[in-house]
């Protein structure tokens, strides 16, 4: 069914003015204030005239858009479609492009779909416009719709004013923020209720029936100004048979009383034909003359509907030949209709037949459910359900299924199949399996081979989604056996692809490739097959570059098409791309793709996808944090792993926890915490082994072996690494084989067995060349070295011994060490913010290793100017200004020797130092040396504009630059430079926090600034703004006075005009 067939145009036009409506100047004036606010909420129960009064506002602005929400619009997809359609009703047709896009490429509902529409309105709107969402209470509790409406309100252009007409105020998270900003006006029942003067005017001017002041007071007391109740009193008085005093003697009008009143004083005064006409019409939510003629066997429904409207009987025209009862009157008529259940069900069945004939299937399902013709409704749901799943309309589908009795659900295999699909896509795997199993049982009894195959395939899909290949294998093979390929070629091709994916999970890439080839032969040319499966096979067989390129192309297509689909669990393109990037050591791309994958999970409302995204993001942060020794990143990675584990634990599938356990094992192991690493590795390998995933089993094993290697436990390391090597060979993963060989040769080298190391290097190089795995040697990768400098001595040795000289020369050039004879085999990691600390690889240089304090200061001096060469006299003047020249030079030589021994304790005798080098009489840091300084990382993050980078900069700032050398003048300039950058980062971030209404965080940051620099005036202004937003005026006064006192005490000056003006603006005081 086309998308436009689901849109009822009558919902998109405001109701017409009805007879007997008083123009109330007070209400008109109140509603005119809509133009002063981005959002207005009109909240009152039924019968208060919300829709009627708002419809009158059409003349207030040149562009007036209307959308009457109905129960069916709880489906967020329909809501969005109608919202787009509402903007295409007038001359600009702003919603048309968005609607066309949604119709041509149905999409998963998320807020970003509103962006093109909002941009179109922003560019095209020249004056004021109003959008009314009437009866909004029907959908206000749907989270997806909350997200859409919140985004619409937050990003609507200044000229667009949104009105939510509702029986209750939406409990939206953004509402307090809108209130604080003064962005919302609320009009409630008390505002809409008639006043005494308006009651008198209503009866005098509209009903032409004069009542006294006392009667008006009595009416007001009894009705509380309720518009519909006043209208009903007038209906009673029209006949002239009752007096006002008789009507006023009625008991107070409640909902129940209103129904009684409507029965006796309205409906029963009509002719029996008209009564029957109205009660029959009540079967419809939208009343159309054509179907009424069918139900009543007449051809005069249009005339009768006009008569009812002209008589003021709570009905309004909402479009051409479309009418709608007032909600309360409709409820009353439905209660009368259902007083004769047999007649009500018959009318609903007839309505269903009509809509079936018109191919309006969703309307037909509603009437079949109301008629309790559950079997027929169920069969129709089976017919249109797959398309609803394709469009992502799971809520609407499940709502229908839940209205079916349990015994009916258990009789219709297709319903159970659909129910299983919905539960699976919502990651409720146990319920899903139960539904699929029941469906299979029924299909078996009915001898329906295709249905049975679908049920088996559904069960297998769960085990594929959660990567449990052993359990999936038998189910897929049985599902495939049931189908004749030439009769069911598409279904067979899909099964072959599933089986291929499962073979890959089992570690049989050749079989997977053959099955995937068979699937392609069966498919039509228009069906591209499963790109994910091909890319995953490339990853698991070591073809990383090819897999990455394929996925990048696929990701670009997905971004362009933005196609609608359900979640793919771990198969999301960007998440697989992130994993490949982490294998290649491209942590930046891996992080970006993982973050995008998390957003996809949120849009799809999939905790599973979000959890996988968190795991991949943790991998990226772990890799970079380990490379740069940033503990904050490692802590964040650990938190992400644990959060992901908690998320996937809800699915009760232990296999899904393998990857985060693998990550935690590497995280602990690469920090030398072997007990924790072994514990997590055991859990990961046990689950992977039970699931039959040999590839992932060996990933865990190679990283655990690497962990043992780094702490010098060679025997345990080699046992694990050789086992992983054999395992990767069996599953044909050449990259895994290469990574295993790399760690084996490094382990032998560190143990002093250079011959064995050379032997395995000879085996490794051809693999690196064939697979283009140079990154394993050049940079840290997830299966590779923690410190890429570790491999350099081995490569230099291989080059010297004539091994693959062209290839090794190329690698050494990329490492910028091609001209060296000696390299220490590690990077240096220096903490300069706060307490000074230096690490040779993983080893922290202890105080005793410096031998003398001047050696440590000499290194600090070099690090302060890392890109400069210092003359010996410069160095001596800065570090030994009190000594005579000869004595100073002597002490310099002693300190330099001590520094070299501290940095390179294992340097062979007779070789030149590597980290600190001399050129004639100049000294400095070797530009070929890999030295990570936290201050350099801090400056990189500090220069960026995004909040996340600034937060990372603050995490890196553990104290002043060279905090333990505060009295060395040569570090003062650099220290002040870093301090100013820190303060500017704090100020910028605090300002962002104020904008985002994170006021406490902003205040805390400002206080940190003032602890360092009490005269930083911008901090006082930010604090004043934050306290003002928190409605804490006394703190605004205190902060200003504090600023004034400190500036005078420290500098002898007054606050700047900017600070004074802000204080006067916030506190409405005159400082003159």
Which among 274, 275, 261 is positioned nearest to 230, based on CA atoms? Answer: 261
How much of the chain exceeds pLDDT 90, in percent?
Answer: 55
Q: How far is CA 566 from CA 427, 499, 579, in A?
A: 11, 20, 22
Whether the predicted pLDDT of 19 surpasses 90 = no
Helices and strands (DSSP H and E) totals, the chain: 54, 14
Task: Label residue 1043 by pLDDT band (50, 70, 90).
Answer: very high
pLDDT, position 984: 96
Q: How confident is the model at residue 482, as a pLDDT?
A: 83
**Cα separations in angstroms, 970 against 866, 937, 975:** 14, 22, 10
**What is the overall mean pLDDT for the chain?**
88
Looking at the structure, tell me whether residues 85 and 166 fall in a common domain: yes
Question: Would you state the pLDDT for residue 1071?
Answer: 55
Kindly tell me if the per-residue pLDDT of 48 is higher than 90.
no
Residue 800 lies in a domain: yes
Q: Any idea which residue has 């904008």 for tokens?
A: 995
Tell me: the pLDDT tens digits for 170-194?
Answer: 989 999 889 888 899 999 888 998 9
Q: What is the CA radius of gyration of the chain?
A: 38
Please give the pLDDT value at position 252.
Answer: 41
Does the structure show a pLDDT above 60 at 528? no
In this predicted structure, the answer to whether residue 848 has a pLDDT above a threshold of 80 is yes
Confidence of residue 648 (pLDDT cuts 50, 70, 90): confident
How confident is the model over 499-508, as a mean pLDDT? 83
pLDDT at residue 852 tops 80: yes
More confident residue, 404 or 647: 404
What is the predicted pLDDT for the residue at 244? 64
Same domain flag for 83 and 151: yes
The closest of 459, 461, 451, 510 to 483, measured between CA atoms, is 451
Integer CA distances (angstroms), 162 to 33, 78, 133, 165, 1004, in order: 12, 19, 8, 10, 36
Tens of pLDDT along 758-795?
A: 999 999 999 999 999 999 999 999 999 999 999 999 99
C-alpha span between 806 and 801 (Å, rounded): 13
Q: Which two tokens stand for residue 145?
A: 């719709």
**What mean pLDDT comes out for the span 9-20?**
76
| 119 and 88 within one domain | yes
Shared domain check, 710 and 794 = yes
String of DSSP letters for 249-306: TSPP--HHHHHHHIIIIIGGGS-HHHHHHHHHHTT-SSB-HHHHHHHHT-S-HHHHHH
Would you say 875 and 859 are in contact if contact means Cβ atoms under 8 Å apart? no
Residues 722 and 857 in one domain: no
DSSP assignment string, 909-961: TTSPPSSEEEETTEEEE-TTS-EEEHHHHHHHHHT--SHHHHHHHHHH--SSB
At 258, is the pLDDT very low, low, confident or very high (cuts 50, 70, 90)? low
Report the range of poorest mean pLDDT among 13-17, 92-96, 479-483, 613-617.
92-96
Q: Does a structural domain hold residue 163? A: yes
Same structural domain for residues 865 and 736? no
Please, which pLDDT band fits residue 100 given cuts at 50, 70 and 90?
A: confident
**The pLDDT of residue 649:** 75
Whether residue 526 is predicted with pLDDT greater than 50 in this model: the reply is: no
- CATH number of the domain at 159, please: 3.40.50.300
Pairing of strands 39-43, 160-166: parallel
Domain boundary at 483, 498, 513, which?
498
82, 75 contact by CB (below 8 A) = no
- Across 1051-1058, average pLDDT: 94
- Asked if 525 and 561 count as a contact pair (C-beta separation under 8 A), the reply is no
> Both 206 and 158 in a single domain?
no
List the structure tokens of 935: 């201050």
Task: Verify that 260 and 154 share a domain, yes or no.
Answer: no
318 domain residue, yes or no: no
> Considering Cα of 895, then 898, then 902, then 904, what sign does the dihedral take?
positive
Torsion of CA 29, 30, 35, 36, to 10 degrees: 120
Statement to judge: residues 26 and 172 lie in one domain: yes
In a domain, 76, yes or no: yes
CATH of residue 1050? 1.25.40.10
575-596: average pLDDT: 95
187 and 209 share one domain = no
Greater confidence (1070 vs 1055) lies with 1055
| Greater model confidence, 654 or 494 | 494
Domain with 835 in it: what CATH number?
Answer: 1.10.10.10
> β-strands 828-831, 322-325: how paired?
unpaired
Q: Which helix (H) or strand (E) holds 317?
A: strand 315-319
**Overall domain count for the chain:** 7
Is 88 part of any domain?
A: yes
In 3-state terms, what secondary structure has residue 652? Answer: coil
User: Of 819, 798, 821, which is closest to residue 808 (Cα–Cα)?
Assistant: 798
Neighbouring C-beta atoms of residue 592, cutoff 10 Å: 17
* Domain region containing 763: 693-821
Where a domain ends, among 800, 821, 842? 821
- Are 923 and 872 in contact by the 8 Å Cβ rule? The answer is yes
Main-chain dihedrals φ then ψ at residue 317, nearest 5 degrees: -85, 125
Residues 133 and 17 in one domain: yes
* Domain assignment of residue 642, yes or no: no
pLDDT digits (tens, 9 = 90+) for 1009-1041: 999 999 999 999 999 999 998 888 889 999 999
Q: What is the pLDDT of residues 670-691, one digit of tens each?
A: 999 999 999 999 999 998 888 7
pLDDT digit string, tens, across residues 877-899? 999 999 999 999 999 999 999 99
Structure-model confidence comparison of residues 862 and 23, the more confident one: 862
* 711-754 pLDDT tens trace: 999 999 999 999 999 999 999 999 999 999 999 999 999 999 99
Distance of CA 658 to the CA centre of its chain: 23
Asked whether the predicted pLDDT for residue 1 surpasses 60, the reply is no
Choose the final residue of a domain: 192, 219, 238.
Answer: 192
Do 187 and 203 lie in one domain? The reply is: no
Residue 832: DSSP 8-state:
-
pLDDT in tens, 338-361: 989 999 999 999 999 999 998 889
Per-residue confidence band for 951, with pLDDT thresholds at 50, 70 and 90: very high
Percent pLDDT > 70 in the chain is: 92
Mean pLDDT of 701-709: 97
In a domain, residue 570? The reply is no
Please state, as a whole number, how many other Cβ atoms lie within 10 Å of the Cβ of residue 652. Answer: 12
Q: Examine residue 626 and state whether it is found in any structural domain, yes or no.
A: no
Instruction: Measure CA 191 to chain center.
Output: 39
Tokens of 784: 């590779």
DSSP 8-state symbol, 442: H
């Amino acid at each position: 069914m086309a998308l436009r067939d689901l849109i009822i145009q009558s919902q998109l036009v405001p109701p017409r003015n009805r007879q007997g409506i008083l123009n109330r100047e007070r209400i008109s004036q109140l509603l005119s204030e809509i133009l002063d606010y981005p959002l207005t909420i009109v909240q009152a129960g039924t019968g208060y005239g919300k829709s009627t009064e708002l419809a009158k506002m059409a003349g207030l602005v040149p562009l007036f858009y209307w959308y009457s929400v109905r129960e069916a619009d709880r489906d967020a997809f329909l809501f969005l479609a109608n919202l787009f359609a509402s903007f295409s009703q007038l001359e600009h047709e702003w919603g048309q492009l968005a609607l066309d896009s949604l119709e041509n490429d149905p999409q998963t509902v998320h807020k970003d779909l509103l962006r093109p529409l909002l941009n179109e309105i922003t560019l095209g709107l020249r004056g004021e416009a109003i959008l009314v969402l009437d009866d909004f209470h029907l959908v206000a509790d749907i989270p997806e719709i909350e997200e859409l409406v919140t985004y619409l309100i937050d990003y609507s252009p200044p000229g667009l004013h949104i009105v939510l007409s509702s029986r209750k105020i939406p409990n939206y998270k953004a509402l307090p923020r809108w209130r604080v900003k003064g962005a919302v006006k609320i009009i409630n029942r008390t505002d809409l209720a008639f006043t005494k003067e308006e009651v008198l005017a209503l009866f005098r001017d509209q009903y032409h029936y004069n009542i006294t002041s006392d009667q008006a007071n009595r009416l007001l007391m009894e009705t509380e100004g309720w518009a519909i109740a006043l209208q009903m009193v007038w209906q009673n008085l029209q006949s002239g048979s009752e007096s006002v005093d008789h009507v006023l003697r009625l008991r107070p009008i409640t909902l129940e009383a209103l129904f009684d009143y409507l029965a006796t004083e309205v409906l029963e005064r009509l002719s029996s034909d008209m009564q029957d006409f109205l009660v029959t019409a009540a079967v419809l939510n939208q009343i159309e003359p054509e179907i009424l003629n069918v139900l009543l066997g007449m051809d005069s429904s249009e005339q009768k509907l006009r008569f009812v409207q002209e008589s003021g009987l709570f009905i309004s025209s909402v479009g051409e030949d479309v009418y709608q009862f007032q909600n309360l009157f409709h409820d009353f008529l439905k209660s009368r209709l259902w007083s004769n259940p047999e007649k009500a069900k018959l009318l609903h069945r007839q309505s269903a037949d009509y809509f079936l004939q018109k191919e309006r299937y969703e309307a037909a399902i509603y009437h079949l459910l109301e008629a309790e013709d559950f079997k027929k409704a169920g069969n129709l749901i089976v017919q249109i359900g797959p398309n609803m799943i394709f469009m992502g309309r799971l809520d609407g589908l499940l709502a229908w299924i839940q209205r079916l009795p349990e015994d009916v659900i258990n009789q219709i295999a297709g319903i159970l199949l659909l129910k299983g699909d919905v539960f699976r896509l919502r990651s409720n795997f146990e319920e899903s399996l139960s539904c699929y199993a029941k469906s299979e049982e029924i299909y078996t009894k009915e001898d329906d081979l295709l249905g049975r195959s679908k049920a088996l395939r559904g069960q297998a899909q769960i085990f594929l989604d959660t990567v449990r290949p052993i359990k999936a294998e038998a189910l897929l093979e049985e599902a495939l056996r049931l189908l004749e390929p030439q009769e069911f070629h598409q279904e067979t091709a899909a099964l072959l692809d599933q089986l291929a994916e499962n073979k890959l999970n089992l570690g049989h890439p050749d079989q997977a490739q053959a099955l995937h080839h068979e699937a392609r032969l069966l498919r039509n040319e228009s069906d591209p097959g499963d790109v994910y499966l091909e890319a995953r096979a490339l990853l698991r067989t070591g073809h990383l570059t090819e897999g990455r390129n394929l996925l990048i192309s696929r990701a670009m297509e997905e971004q362009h098409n933005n196609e609608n689909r359900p979640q793919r669990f771990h198969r999301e393109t960007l998440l697989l791309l992130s994993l490949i990037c982490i294998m290649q050591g491209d942590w930046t791309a891996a992080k970006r793709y993982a973050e995008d994958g998390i957003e996809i999970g949120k849009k799809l409302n999939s905790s599973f996808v979000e959890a996988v995204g968190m795991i991949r993001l943790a991998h990226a942060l772990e890799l970079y944090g380990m490379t740069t020794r940033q503990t904050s990143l490692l802590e964040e990675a650990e938190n992400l792993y644990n959060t992901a584990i908690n998320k996937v634990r809800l699915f009760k599938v232990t296999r899904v926890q393998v990857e985060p356990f693998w990550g935690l094992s590497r995280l602990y192991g690469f920090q030398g915490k072997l007990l924790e690493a072994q514990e997590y590795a055991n859990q990961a390998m046990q689950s992977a082994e039970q699931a039959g995933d040999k590839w992932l089993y060996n990933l865990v094993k190679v990283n655990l072996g690497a962990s043992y290697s780094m702490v010098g436990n060679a025997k345990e390391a080699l046992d694990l690494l050789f086992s992983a090597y054999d395992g990767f060979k069996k599953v044909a993963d050449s990259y895994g084989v290469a990574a295993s060989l790399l760690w084996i040769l490094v382990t032998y080298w560190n143990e002093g067995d250079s011959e064995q190391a050379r032997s395995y290097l000879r085996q490794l190089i051809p693999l690196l060349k064939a697979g283009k795995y140079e990154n394993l040697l050049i940079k840290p990768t997830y299966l590779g070295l923690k410190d890429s400098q570790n491999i350099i001595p081995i490569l230099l040795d291989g080059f010297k011994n004539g091994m693959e000289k062209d290839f090794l020369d190329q690698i050494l050039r990329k490492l910028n060490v091609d001209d060296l004879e000696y390299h220490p085999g590690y990077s240096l990691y220096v903490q300069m913010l706060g307490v000074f600390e230096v690490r040779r690889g993983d080893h922290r240089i202890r105080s005793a290793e410096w031998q003398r304090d001047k050696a440590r200061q000499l290194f600090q001096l070099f690090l302060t100017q890392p890109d400069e060469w210092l003359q010996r006299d410069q160095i001596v003047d800065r570090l030994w200004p009190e000594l005579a020249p000869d004595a100073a030079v002597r002490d310099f030589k002693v300190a330099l020797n001590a520094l070299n021994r501290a940095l390179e304790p294992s340097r062979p005798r007779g070789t030149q130092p590597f980290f600190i080098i001399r050129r004639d009489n100049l000294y400095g840091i070797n530009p070929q040396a890999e030295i990570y300084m936290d201050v350099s990382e801090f400056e990189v993050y500090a220069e960026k504009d995004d909040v996340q980078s600034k937060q990372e900069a603050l995490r890196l700032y553990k104290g002043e630059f060279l905090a333990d050398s505060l009295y060395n003048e040569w570090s003062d300039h650099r220290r002040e430079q870093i301090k100013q950058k820190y303060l500017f980062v704090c100020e910028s971030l605090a300002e962002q926090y104020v904008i985002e209404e994170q006021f406490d965080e902003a205040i805390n940051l400002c206080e940190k600034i003032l602890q360092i620099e009490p005269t930083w005036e911008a901090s006082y202004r930010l604090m004043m703004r934050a306290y003002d937003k928190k409605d804490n005026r006394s703190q605004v006064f205190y902060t200003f006075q504090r600023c004034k006192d400190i500036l005078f005490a420290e500098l002898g000056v007054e606050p700047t005009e900017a600070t004074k003006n802000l204080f006067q603006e916030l506190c409405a005081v005159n400082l003159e």
